């Protein structure tokens, strides 16, 4: 039931003792070996010895994505380069990518975190993992792979794409676990139905999905169309990759592996630390990584923390579903909108796919929003008035979810842009001077 | 008797209609009638073709959304009022017309009208009652 019961079910005192010891060690390692951190500390006269309690972490300056970008490619190493055995990078939609480097020990930690998640979801050593996350610089594919290896389960490195082969593999190998982005899982579910493969012919039991925001509506779709129980997984390249946190069978918050990563929630405007239960930006500090330790990384992901022991028996801190990214938040006509709200609104309309693109422009002085949605066979009709009715229905669903009046455009299946298997959700062409 | 029409969802993007037609041509499928209903953003391409099953498979393989549904085909004398008397039947019985398009064949001097009505069953009954002949699949094969 537990991969590492000692670590996952530790009491508070024990946990905090370990966290403090590891934090002090990490701070010392970073200060003594990484010029960037030394400079940051020296600027405010902070010494590693000043970190005497966990609360003292608040004295440490934040690290941002742009700090990592400036250190591109390997400027933040805390160990000699020859100790690094693997690197990954997050795609650079703006500017240079951010690189993360791993020692063998770091990879072992990664595998450990993923293995804990697999077990949490009910995986057994004899299960087959169909790993449909992309393999490459992206952390998804390799991260899950390291975890599968750690657990000793067969991991099929099928990577993302090639839907026919994915379906064939499900049927031929009878894989029990599917790991991929939620949008791809939904697509595979749709494709299974379209191909007329009965649920009895596949053997999937568990889905582990992350790297994108998703709603409970999308979760329902995936679970029904593939006959699985899904588990939200969280992580980010800058900190490690997937596996920082994951849902157990309770599907009630993601257990953060908090003996390896120390979570805080801050007010993204003021930088002030918030209490458990309050919604704000997640900040993560690595506690055990040595290749590229990271102190107080601002994830931009908005969530809240749950401190109570979970019904599954684990005591690790949980984070709630990501409700948005502080930099994904769109301010349209003065209204705050998250893409996840649009997705939620779409999925309330029968037959609508979760494949959408929000296109924001400002042709004159007012914002205009066009939501493009890929049409499906279910909503297509030979009658124009029926198509217009669907568009109106989508429009009013978005309106009641966000308060915004938007233009809705139906477009052909698979016509919206996707990058590295990840859907592009927002194109904002407004120019702000 | 009704005839089955196929409808295709096409974005108003350059080349999409051509792509759909090309897909059918590659499979040697004859297009007997075609009409487009469109907005500025997308269109619904409606077709009467020689082999629906083959057409749907080919189009879906090329990523199109396709639907098949029933329409009524009538031959109407190519003269003033030729269509009006038929439409009057629907008016009298209160059946709304969803859409209509027409084509001519070189083998007959009559125009062929394709119609979709709100209530197809009622429409067929009304036509039968008025002794208006509805064309079936066999009839159009000979055109
Ligand atoms: Zn739990």
Q: What is the domain-level CATH number for residue B77?
A: 3.30.2130.10
Q: Do B105 and B59 share a domain, yes or no?
A: no
Q: Which residues of B touch A410 (CB under 8 A)?
A: 9, 41-42
Asked if the domains A5-327 and A335-428 are classified in one and the same CATH topology, the answer is no
Q: Where are the domains of chain A?
A: 5-327, 335-428
B65 with A387: Cβ contact below 8 A: no
| More confident of the two residues B19 and A422 | B19
Size of interface A-B (CB pairs under 8 A): 50
Q: Which residues of A touch B7 (CB under 8 A)?
A: 380-382
* Contact predicate A320/A306, CB 8 Å: yes
Q: Do B15 and B50 share a domain, yes or no?
A: yes
Q: Do B30 and B62 share a domain, yes or no?
A: yes
Q: Do B40 and B82 share a domain, yes or no?
A: no
Q: Which residues of A touch B65 (CB under 8 A)?
A: 375-377, 380, 412-413
Which of B43, B65, B116, B118 to substitute to test the interface with A, most A CBs within 10 Å? B65
Q: Which residues of A touch B39 (CB under 8 A)?
A: 384
Residue B52 belongs to domain spanning: 3-69
Measure A249 CA to ligand 1 centroid, in angstroms. Answer: 7
Quick one: pLDDT at residue A186?
92
**Cα A30 to the center of its chain, rounded Å:** 26
Q: Which residues of A touch B41 (CB under 8 A)?
A: 409-411
B11 with A415: Cβ contact below 8 A: yes
Quick one: pLDDT at residue A94?
55
**Cα A332 to the center of its chain, rounded Å:** 25
Q: Do B14 and B75 share a domain, yes or no?
A: no
At B141, the pLDDT band (50, 70, 90 cuts) reads confident
Q: Do B45 and B11 share a domain, yes or no?
A: yes
Alpha-carbon dihedral of residues A385, A388, A394, A400, nearest 10 degrees?
A: -90
Query: Quick one: closest CA in A to B63, which residue?
Result: A413
Considering CB atoms only, which of B41, B65, B99 is closest to A380? B65
Quick one: pLDDT at residue A329?
76
Quick one: pLDDT at residue A92?
58
Quick one: pLDDT at residue A128?
98
Looking at A419-423, B8-12, B80-84, which range is the least confident one?
Answer: A419-423
Quick one: pLDDT at residue A422?
62
Nearest to B54 by CA among B14, B4, B12, B116: B4
Quick one: pLDDT at residue A305?
97
Structural domain ending residue among the three candidates B69, B88, B108: B69
List of chain A residues with pLDDT < 50: 433
A412 with B7: Cβ contact below 8 A: no
Query: Quick one: closest CA in B to A370, which residue?
Result: B41
Fold category of A335-428 in CATH: GMP Synthetase; Chain A, domain 3 (3.30.300)
Quick one: pLDDT at residue A240?
96
Could you tell me if A375 lies within 8 Å of chain B, comparing CB atoms?
Answer: yes
Q: Quick one: CATH architecture of A5-327? A: 3-Layer(aba) Sandwich (3.40)
A383 with B116: Cβ contact below 8 A: yes
Q: Do B54 and B75 share a domain, yes or no?
A: no
Q: Which residues of A touch B69 (CB under 8 A)?
A: 382
Could you tell me if A385 lies within 8 Å of chain B, comparing CB atoms?
Answer: yes
Q: What is the DSSP string of chain B?
A: --EEEEEEEEESSTTHHHHHHHHHHHTTPPEEEEEEEE-SSEEEEEEEES-HHHHHHHHHHTT-EEEEEEEEEEEE-SSTTTTHHHHHHHHHHTPPEEEEEEEE-TT-SSEEEEEEESSHHHHHHHHHHTTPPEE-HHHHHT-
A382 with B5: Cβ contact below 8 A: yes
Q: Do B112 and B126 share a domain, yes or no?
A: yes
Those residues of chain B whose CB sits closer than 8 Å to some CB in chain A are: 5, 7, 9-11, 16, 37, 39, 41-42, 44, 46, 63-67, 69, 98-99, 116
* Coil, helix or strand at residue A194: helix
Q: Which residues of A touch B99 (CB under 8 A)?
A: 383-384
pLDDT of B106-116, one tens digit each? 777 788 899 99
Measure A318 CA to ligand 1 centroid, in angstroms. Answer: 8
B9 with A412: Cβ contact below 8 A: yes
Nearest to A380 by CA among B58, B50, B37, B118: B37
Residues 392-421 of A with CB under 8 A from B: 409-415
Domain count, chain B: 2
Average pLDDT rounded to a whole number, residues B72-95: 85
Q: Do B55 and B38 share a domain, yes or no?
A: yes
């Amino acid at each position: 039931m537990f991969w590492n019961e000692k670590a996952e079910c530790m009491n508070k005192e024990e946990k905090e003792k370990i966290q403090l010891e590891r934090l002090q060690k990490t701070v010392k390692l970073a200060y003594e070996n990484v010029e960037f951190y030394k400079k940051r500390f020296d600027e405010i006269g902070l010494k590693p010895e000043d970190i005497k309690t966990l609360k003292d972490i608040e004295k440490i300056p934040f690290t941002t994505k742009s700090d990592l970008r400036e250190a591109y490619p390997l400027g933040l190493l805390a160990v000699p380069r020859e100790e690094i055995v693997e690197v990954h990078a997050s795609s650079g939609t703006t500017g240079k990518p951010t690189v993360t480097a791993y020692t063998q020990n770091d990879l072992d930690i990664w595998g450990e975190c993923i293995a804990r998640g697999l077990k949490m979801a009910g995986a057994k050593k004899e299960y087959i993992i169909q790993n449909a996350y992309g393999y490459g610089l992206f952390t998804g594919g390799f991260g899950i792979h390291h975890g599968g290896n750690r657990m000793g389960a067969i991991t099929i490195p099928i990577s993302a794409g090639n839907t026919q082969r994915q379906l064939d593999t499900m049927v031929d190998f009878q894989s029990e676990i599917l790991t991929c982005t939620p949008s791809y899982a939904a697509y595979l579910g749709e494709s299974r139905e379209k191909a007329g493969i009965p649920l009895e012919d596949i053997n999937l039991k568990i889905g582990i999905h992350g790297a994108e925001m998703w709603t409970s509506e999308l979760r329902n779709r995936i679970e029904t169309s593939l006959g699985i129980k899904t588990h939200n997984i969280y992580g980010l390249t800058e900190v490690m990759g997937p596996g920082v946190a994951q849902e157990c069978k309770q599907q009630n918050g993601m257990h953060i592996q908090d003996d390896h990563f120390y979570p805080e929630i801050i007010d993204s405007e003021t930088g002030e630390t918030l209490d458990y239960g309050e919604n704000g930006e997640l900040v993560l500090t690595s506690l055990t990584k040595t290749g590229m330790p990271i102190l107080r990384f601002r994830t931009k992901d908005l969530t809240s923390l749950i401190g109570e022991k979970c019904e599954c028996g684990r005591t690790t801190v949980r984070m709630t579903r990501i409700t948005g990214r502080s930099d994904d938040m769109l301010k349209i006509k003065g209204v705050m909108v998250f893409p996840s709200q649009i997705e939620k609104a779409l999925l309330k309309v029968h037959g609508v796919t979760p494949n959408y693109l929000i296109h924001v422009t400002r042709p004159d002085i007012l914002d205009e929003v066009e939501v493009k949605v890929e049409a499906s066979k279910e909503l297509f009709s030979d009658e124009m008035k029926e198509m217009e009715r669907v568009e109106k229905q989508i429009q009013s669903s978005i309106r009641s979810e966000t308060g915004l009046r938007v233009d809705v455009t139906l477009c052909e299946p698979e016509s919206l842009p996707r990058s590295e298997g990840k859907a592009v959700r927002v194109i904002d062409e407004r120019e702000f001077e | 008797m009704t005839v089955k029409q196929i409808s295709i969802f096409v974005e108003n993007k350059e080349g999409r209609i051509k792509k759909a037609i090309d897909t059918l041509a590659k499979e040697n499928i004859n297009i007997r009638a075609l009409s487009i209903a469109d907005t500025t953003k997308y269109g619904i391409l409606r077709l009467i073709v020689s082999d629906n099953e083959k057409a749907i498979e080919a189009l879906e393989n090329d990523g199109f959304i396709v639907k098949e549904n029933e329409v009524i085909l009538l031959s109407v004398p190519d003269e003033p009022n030729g269509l009006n008397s038929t439409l009057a039947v629907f008016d009298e019985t209160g059946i709304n017309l969803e859409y209509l398009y027409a084509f001519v064949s070189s083998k007959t001097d009559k125009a062929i009208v394709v119609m979709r009505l709100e209530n197809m069953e009622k429409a067929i009954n009304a036509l039968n009652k008025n002794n208006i002949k509805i064309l079936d699949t066999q009839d159009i094969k000979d055109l």
